[in-house]
Structure 1
Amino acid sequence: MDTGSTSTLFFGGTAYLGMPGNESFRQLVIKGMELYGVNHGASRNNNITLDIFSIAEKTAAKRFEAEDAIIVSSGYLAAQLVVQQYFASHQLIYAPETHPALWLGIPAAPKMKFSDWVEQVIVQINSSDLPSLIISNSLNNLIPEIYDFNWLHRIDPHKRVIILVDDSHGIGIVGDQGQGAYSRIPVLPNVQKIVIASMAKALGVDAGLILGNFSMIEQFRSSPVYAGSSPPSPGMLYAFVNSEEIYKNELKKLRMNLRLFTDLLNAGSGLFFINDFPVFLLKDDAAASVLLKNGINISSFPYPDPKGKSLNRIVLSSNHQREDLEILANAINGANAPKG
């Protein structure tokens, strides 16, 4: 990809399905804006609204295998809408690496492996009389690691639990059809599940999503936070509703790129990755410098602590061409070749 007057390759960001540059998607956004306007600044509970909001929510619920859905203006609002609904009635239990959008105040998120945290949480909930709101990401896109939630079966069935899962980096790309995390969280009589996500990453829509059962979603629609908020751009939602085939095709391209790239890597590439996820962690800081010298820009910045050590990650998208991947793989293989 040519990103300017100097030819460089970009392997960063979160546009996993390449929506910002997808011409078919962009044309749908334009058509949606022509039909519905650029924005709709009324309250969500206004007596005058647009049908595209309910159409998009029904579409999201079906596409991501939930009973019901709410779409709001951002992933941050989606997260805060849920947390603020339950913080007074539930003990909040944060998982490691929980995104700041889910924080209320500055919680003491544990610094440990997710699997170790799980063991602690099971003991904590089973020994407590308070209802619990467990707050977790669906995956760690920095390492990367996709979390398994089957441990919920080990919680005492008499304990009342809500699990809130942030699927911002999984929705659209994880699962056979990109359906995300909702359907793989166990269905248990004592556990209610809610999945929230920023739609601005793989899906390319500046909006936030909440997935849940009918009764919980109806509670959120009655929330003052929801009632007082403006909706996302109706034109973007029109594009989301009408882009199912675009998303499917781009997911196929992304997975083809992942297979091609991993096939091109030599043994001992110095990358850590998991199957079917487009993030590759560089273990060697020096390799990141080699890539930059070769005109290859990757994601390299301190996160989540802005004063901490930089995380060096390669992010693939469906936009990358075979030539791009060959150049990247050759640079990595060269950077990790034995010296001397």
Structure 2
Amino acid sequence: MTTAFTVDHLPGRTIRHEGQHYLFFSGTAYLGLPQNAAFQQVLIDSIGSYGTSFGSSRNGNLQLAVYQQAEAQLAAFVGAETALTLSSGMMAGQAVVNYLRAQRYEFVYGPSTHPALWHEPDLILPAIPFAEWVEQIPNVVATVGRVAIVLNSLDAVRSQAYSFEWVSRLPADVPITLVVDDSHGLGIIGEGGSGIWRQIPRLPSVQLLVTASLAKAMGLPGGVILGDAETLGAIRRTPFFGGCSPMPPAYLQAYLQADELYRQAREKLRQNVVLAEELLMPTGWFTHAPGYPVFYTEHDELYPYLLEKGIFLYSFAYPTAADRANTRVVISAFHEPEDIERLAQHINEFISSTQG
């Protein structure tokens, strides 16, 4: 079992632990916005207008315009008709699941679907490869009535991209709602980082809802549901949504003002990922979706070796404590080329030592 580090600061390029500095290749701040001084200043200015939180229901008789403005910008960015923000990606997922349960949908889950979209706490997910699951889906949904197909936009743990071409083969005579968690894609995959929405074929018989945490690439403490105005309006009217505290409005105001900072961060991340691909993939030790900032390895022994060299990787059991530890290198926009070069140097040294 991996021993957890406890630190007293926000991780960035490095972390400090017991007097030692480590290069940090973990976490999910892919664009490095929480560590970005310019983004922090935009947020500080926004706090001057909106404080640290808004202790009210979004359905109350006082409305803050910043929510509608930010949701309109998020929807336009992704390509959806509308958006609805909540306090976390988990809350966004559960708002959708609770709504669909009330509509008596039957749920069909994809492999490794994030717990944010589970409709019961001890859900057993398909233990088969994604490609095999995809081949079964048309026949599965043809045997049920109202069905919700629920899955992730990609395998962020093993860094595997998913194709959604299979959606075009779904039966046209079955009412289907496709629910996709894009928490690890929004901000970094798709056109301009707009996520998975535009990559999913649209069919008249298939309603699309995308949920996402904004706390990863987007650097915002909240979540979002993306979809059609009628469905999101219905979700907004549920007691579940009405009882939720909203995400802090200052962060949405910062988001509205940070287009250029997001663009710069995506370009820096792109350059860093290209370098990491050039240096890590020839080793043959990593699984990696091209352009994605995660490099997964089955060689868990890499973690303690690199830790001794002052490099901290992602390596712990997920999503449950019963799962095996998964080890991955996570690249961020806050890394510098020399960080990635040092990482690759030690990985190559370790590989050489195991082959000698």
For the aligned pair, the TM-score class normalised by the smaller chain equals over 0.9
What's the offset of the Cα at 1:266?
6.9
Hey, what does 1:283 align to over in structure 2? 298
**CA-CA distance at 1:215 after TM superposition:** 1.3
Tell me what 2:22 maps to. 8
SS at match of 1:330: helix
Match of 1:139 among 148, 154, 168: 154
Q: What are the residue-to-residue correspondences of 1:176-255 with 2, within 5 Å?
A: 176-255=191-270
Structure 1 residues 93, 6: CA separation in 2 closer, same or farther (over 3 Å shift)? same
**Amino acid corresponding to residue 222 of structure 1 in structure 2:** R
Determine what percentage of the aligned residue pairs are the same residue.
37
Task: Kindly provide the amino acid, as one letter, of the partner of residue 197 in structure 2.
Answer: Y
Q: Does 1:169 align with 2:169?
A: no
Opposite residue 99 of structure 1, the aligned amino acid is H
- Give the secondary structure class of the aligned counterpart of 2:192: coil
Which residue identity does 2:26 align to in structure 1?
G
- State the one-letter code of the partner of 1:66: A
Equivalent residue number for residue 7 of structure 2? none
Task: Pick one of 121, 128, 149 that aligns with 2:137.
Answer: 121
Deviation, 1:12, is 0.2
CA contact (8 A) 1:282 1:288 kept: no
**How far apart in 2 are the matches of 1:327 and 1:92?**
46
> For 1:177, what is the secondary structure of its paired residue?
helix
Deviations 1:207-257 (A, max 9, x none): 110000121111112111111211110111111111111111101100100
Residue 329 of structure 1 is matched in structure 2 by 344
- 2:81 corresponding residue in structure 1: 67
Task: Find out whether 1:22 has 2:69 as its counterpart.
Answer: no
Unaligned runs of 5+ in 2: 1-12
Cα shift at 1:281: 0.9
What does residue 56 of structure 2 align with?
42
Check the 8 A contact 2:293/2:330 in 1, yes or no. Answer: yes
Task: Provide the rounded CA distance (Å) in 2 between the counterparts of 1:2 and 1:109.
Answer: 36
Give the alignment of 1:309-320 within 5 angstroms.
309-320=324-335
Are 2:315 and 1:300 aligned?
Answer: yes
Letter in 1 for 2:140: Q
Q: Is 1:52 the counterpart of 2:63 in the alignment?
A: no
CA displacement, residues 80-121 of structure 1 (integer Å, 9 cap, x when unaligned): 111111114211111110111111212221111111112222
Instruction: State the alpha-carbon separation in 2 of the partners of residues 260 and 174 from structure 1.
Output: 18
Residue deviations 1:157-214 (CA, integer Å, cap 9, x gap): 1111000000000000001300001111111000000000000000010011000012
* Counterpart residue type for residue 131 of structure 2: S
User: Distance in 2 between the 1:260 and 1:17 partners?
Assistant: 16
CA–CA distance in structure 2, aligned partners of residues 285 and 76 of structure 1? 28
Matched, 1:108 2:124: yes
TM-score by length of 1: 0.96
Whole-angstrom distance in 1 between the partners of 2:346 and 2:110: 36
Aligned-partner Cα distance in 2 for 1:65–1:97? 26
Q: Relative to structure 1, is the Cα distance of residues 109 and 307 closer, same or farther in structure 2, using a 3 angstrom cutoff?
A: closer
Root-mean-square deviation (CA, aligned residues, Å) is 1.3
Residue aligned with 2:31, SS: coil
1:247-305 Cα distance to aligned partner (Å, 9 max, x none): 11101100100111222337334122121101111222222222111110000111123
1:78 aligns with 2:92: yes
SS in 2 for 1:280: strand
Aligned length: 339
TM value normalised by structure 2: 0.92
Counterpart CA distance in 1 for 2:338 and 2:226 is: 39
